[in-house]
Amino acid sequence: MGSLAGKTMVEKLTEKQGIQFYRLKSDKFNTTRVDIFFVDDLEKERASGNAILPSILKRGCGKYPSITELERKLEELYGADVGGGTLKKGEAHLIGFRMSHISDRYTFNNTRLFDECCNLLMCILESPLTEDNGFKKSVFTKERDNLINYIRSRINNKIHFSLYRCIEEMCHGEPFAIPEEGTEEDALLLTPQNTFAQYKEMIQSYPAYVYISGEVDDTSIQNFIDNFLKAGRGDIKSIKTPDVKKEISEVKRVEEGMEVNQGKLCLGFRTQIDPCSPDYYPLVVYNGILGGDTHSKLFQNVREKASLAYYAQSVLEKYKGLMIVMSGIEAENRQKAEEIILKQVEDMRKGNITKDEIDATKKSLETGMKAMQDSQGAIVDFFLSQHLTNCADDFESTAEKFRQVTIDDVVRVAQNIQLDAVYFLKPKNFKEGIA
């Protein structure tokens, strides 16, 4: 790989009351941005409550008590943007909030937008709309309905649905099986009062990461840190570390029928590799060779040569040590497709990997690392991932570790890969042997 152009760096500013503050340095962007992530354990009874919080808080705050007033204020701030959402990384549940605005050098008379935008962000975080010791009922009800509708709509994207079901079956009894938005059953148990209580827990006790990127002067940053969550914090929650090691005694096999034209076949594997292990880098290269791009074994052998799949790819879940192979196939080709997929896995275990395959994968990873640095959001996500797993590598050292991976390294990690579950979403009336 060639060297990465334009160094992107992170600097830890301080840590107070369980909140870590970082400054991201890159000269590529004309926007200033603040990202805040509160971290909770992923738990069934808390997932829906965490998931709904950003949606409720974005609906208004003490100073701007309606979405209209809030949007008007954002327009005054040169079209500033406030957003948020939840995601899971391994068995950690992250509640994120984001504020972005154009750099002060593009404003009239160099208006200092950062201070005003941060005040607005703090209003949203610290002064939500409340009544009767809970969130404002009309706002809460609307957002709970939206959350339930979203949970119900997951089934509409059959690729994502089959991936979710494969993980749910493979990780049954483990927190990773819980979807980041929770379930409809748990969302229906939410009330304005119990959700507000969970919000207060988030503000007072969830550990948090804050990232500031773009052009901001040191005084404004220090002022933001000094005034962040002025109400104070209590005992900071300790987040569990997921266990990536699991011995497989028997492969789970699950088939479900649904109104679909095309079958979805997912194979779930345990990699047994921790995200901060030296073996993580060969694992990423392994995944790229197996199913990461058009040069991969899955694409070439399952899709192109055998013409069995509309798509065939593999994805890693680094925090939990999982790899999922996903493919879209005609239902009658299910057995043959599975055999060819497993043959590619076995070939890699035996060392049947070419120099062209590893070179193409490294080139693809290099391109991906460069592209990541063209997005403020992707840069934030990269460093958040590193901090969550206590990994010290930045973009350059990560790229260097990918460069150093050999075919022998890939073959070594291939020995760890174990099939855990096979999930097949098939047309409703399909029976094996009948087209």
Kind plus residue range of the DSSP H or E element containing 21: strand 19-25
User: By the 8 A CB rule, do 1 and 399 touch?
Assistant: yes
pLDDT computed for residue 6 by the predictor = 54
pLDDT computed for residue 125 by the predictor = 96
pLDDT computed for residue 434 by the predictor = 40
* Structural domains in the chain, sorted by start: 9-226 (3.30.830.10), 252-427 (3.30.830.10)
Kind plus residue range of the DSSP H or E element containing 311: strand 309-317
Neighbours of 83 (CB within 10 A): 12
pLDDT computed for residue 7 by the predictor = 79
Q: How far apart are CA 145 and CA 98, in angstroms?
A: 23
Residue 272 Cα distances to 181, 362, 371, 414, angstroms? 27, 22, 29, 10
Contacts of 26 (CB under 8 A, 6+ apart): 6, 8, 9, 213, 373, 376, 379
Q: How far apart are CA 104 and CA 113, in angstroms?
A: 6
Name the H helices within 24-77: 44-57, 67-76
User: By the 8 A CB rule, do 421 and 246 touch?
Assistant: no
Token pair, residue 421, equals 């579950």
Per-residue pLDDT of the chain (435 residues; tens, 9 = 90+): 444 445 789 999 999 999 999 999 888 889 999 999 999 999 999 999 999 999 999 999 999 999 999 999 999 999 999 999 999 999 999 999 999 999 888 887 777 899 999 999 999 999 999 999 999 999 999 999 999 999 999 999 999 999 999 999 999 999 999 999 999 999 999 999 999 999 999 999 999 999 999 989 999 999 999 999 877 788 999 999 988 999 899 999 999 999 888 899 999 999 999 999 999 999 999 999 999 888 889 988 887 787 777 888 999 999 999 999 999 988 898 899 999 999 999 999 999 999 999 999 999 999 999 999 999 999 999 999 999 999 999 999 999 999 999 999 999 999 999 999 999 999 887 776 443
Q: How far apart are CA 285 and CA 425, in angstroms?
A: 29
Q: How far apart are CA 435 and CA 7, in angstroms?
A: 55
Query: How many residues are given for the chain?
Result: 435
Instruction: Judge residue 59's burial from the number of C-beta atoms within 10 Å of its C-beta, 0-12 exposed, 13-18 middle, 19 or more buried.
Output: buried
User: By the 8 A CB rule, do 151 and 181 touch?
Assistant: yes
Residue with tokens 């509708």: 149
User: By the 8 A CB rule, do 324 and 266 touch?
Assistant: yes
